[in-house]
Every structure is written in C-alpha cells, then in structure tokens.
Amino acid sequence: MAVDHYNTLGVIPRATAADLRTAYLKLARANHPDRFDGNERDRAQVRMQQINEAWNVLGVAHKRREYDAKQPGPTARSGSGSASNEPGHQRRGHTHFMPLDEGPIDWPDIDLDATPIAGSRSIARWVTFLPVVLFIFGILTLGFGTMVDAPAVFALGLVSIGLGGVCFLMLPLVVMSRAERDPDL
C-alpha cells in the first residue's frame, strides 16, 4: 500500500513549501519521542519516522515533483505550488513572482571547482598567533597608557588593537589563498 505523504503531514497537495514546513514542525514538536515514556515513546518513534519520511519527500522540490508524478490520477497541485489557477480565484501581489524554492525549475547546486581541497602550504605558527598577541598587547598598552597619562602609549595601544583586528579578519583569507586542490582526490 502506497503511503500518502500529504495525509501524513495533514496538508493538501497544493500546499506551499511554507505550509509544508509549518505542518512538519508542528507535527515534529507534538510527536517527538523525547516527550513520551514507555510504549507511547515507541509509537512516537514510529510516527516520527513517518513524519520525517514525508518531509524528506515533500520538503525537497524535485522529490516532491517526482512523488506527485507517481501518484495515480491528477494531483491538485498548481504549477507554482502557491496558488490555484482555478477560474474565479484571484492571486494577490505580483502574478509573475515565483519564489526560488517553489518553482518548476530545480536549481542545481553550483560548484565552480569540484576538485576537493587537499591541504595548504604551511604557514608559520607565529602568523596564526599574531592577531591574538596584537590584541592583548593593545589592551595592556591602553591600560598602561591610561595609568601613566601618556597619549603616545595610549595611541600605540589603539593602533595595536586595530592591527590585531585587521589581522584577525585577514588570516582566513591568507590561509584559503594558500590552499591547494588535489586533482587525484
């Protein structure tokens, strides 16, 4: 016997992606096994598996289209999945608007370079600690400059904290720029 995923989530076939998500979250909260004890917990686990299976099919656009195509008879789902095209039904807003997650086109994941990153050329250990050292030095220098009322020392502390922040932001970029792609992986 075929499982009706729409019935499992308690939605109609023309439900939008947002409606599906709302129904899934509501059922997941209500039927989560951690909320139950004993035999009720076992029943909740089975029910949660059914809910998750329905969500895994209906929550992904291309899987939902495949599921709808396999259903016997016409499905009541409209082309965009968001509003009915029945006579007398007026859509609100821009009629040409179609959210990216509900369209008939399945947007493929774009990966400009599929070669996995193998590692990176080594970076001196002191470079990784430089932002932290500059920041701590800046805090200490600010404190000392304030205590002895020395504007030059205070300014040195501010510059040190600023350089530490810039180094903190730039370090990941330096590491990524040194990464190498391994064509053998």
Would you say the pTM of this structure is higher than 0.75? no
3-state secondary structure (DSSP) of residue 122: coil
Task: Quickly tell me which residue has 């992986």 as its tokens.
Answer: 185
pLDDT tens digits, 103-147? 444 545 555 555 555 666 677 788 888 899 999 999 999 999 999
Domain hosting residue 166, numbered range: 117-181
Q: How far apart are CA 153 and CA 91, in angstroms?
A: 67
Residue 6, Cβ neighbours under 10 Å: how many? 24
In a domain, 76, yes or no: no
CB 158 within 8 A of CB 92: no
Q: 45-73 burial string, b = 16+ CB within 10 Å, else e?
A: eebbebbeebbebbbebeebeebbeeeee
52, 70, 88 - which closes a domain: 70
Q: What's the average model confidence in pLDDT over 78-106?
A: 49
How many domains does one find in the chain? 2
Q: Look at 15-19, 24-28, 114-118, 179-183 and tell me which has the smallest mean pLDDT.
A: 114-118
3-state secondary structure (DSSP) of residue 117: strand
In a domain, 101, yes or no: no
In a domain, 99, yes or no: no
Task: Quickly tell me which residue has 């470079």 as its tokens.
Answer: 127
Task: Quickly tell me which residue has 């903190």 as its tokens.
Answer: 168
Q: How far apart are CA 91 and CA 88, in angstroms?
A: 10
Q: How far apart are CA 96 and CA 103, in angstroms?
A: 11
pLDDT tens digits, 29-76? 999 988 888 889 989 999 999 999 999 999 888 889 888 888 876 554
